[in-house]
Amino acid sequence: MSTPEAWPDLAGRIEDGIHLLPIRIYYEDTDFSGIVYHANYLRFAERSRSDFLRLAGVHHHELFEGDNPLAFAIHRMEMDFVRPARIDDVLEVRTRYVTAKGARLEVLQSIWRGDEELWRAKVMAAVIDQQGKPRRLPKSVVAKLSPLVRPLTVSS
């Protein structure tokens, strides 16, 4: 049966505040130039952010239900495309939440093939309501995320 329990690694793993998610490159991810289509790295990165929240115990219904449902909205991304991925590659997305307070989320993400970095990004998101106004992260979400946040320090 297709229960989550049958595939324990499906959502990846969080190790020391870093979420690791394996990604297989299929036909759908490539383009005729022979490499992965550039926008698809954002799909892979989003899967890892979603699975990070899943493993942290933060579920969509905590945001979407209630009188004025909230949503995560990305407002800025900066990304470097370092090396291309190809069909059949096994990649690993690494995701680290560096800020999660007030209405602000900051996430550092990178995609690796073995010890080669292929892509890295800085993602800035906010919690907004249905009118698009920034809202504070619900306390229950902060309580679950805080222990996993790894702020940037001078040396990192």
Using the rule CB under 8 A, which residue among 17, 55, 62, 92 binds a copy of itself? 92
Using the rule CB under 8 A, which residue among 14, 17, 47, 104 binds a copy of itself? 47
**66 alpha-carbon distance from chain centroid:** 24
Least Cα distance to 151 among 111, 104, 119, 118 occurs for 104
Residue 15 binding a copy of itself, by CB under 8 A: no
Beta bridge partner(s), residue 13: 20
Indicate which residue of 31, 51, 80, 88 is catalytic. 31
CA–CA distance, 151 with 76 (Å, rounded to integer):
19
Reply yes or no on whether 31 is catalytic: yes
Using the rule CB under 8 A, which residue among 65, 66, 87, 133 binds a copy of itself? 87
Piece of the chain touching a copy of itself by CB under 8 A; list 97-105, 109-117, 141-149? 109-117
Q: Which two tokens stand for residue 113?
A: 């093939």
Residue 97 binding a copy of itself, by CB under 8 A: no
Q: To the nearest 10°, the Cα dihedral for 154, 103, 107, 15?
A: 90
Residue 46 binding a copy of itself, by CB under 8 A: yes
Catalogue the active-site residues: 31
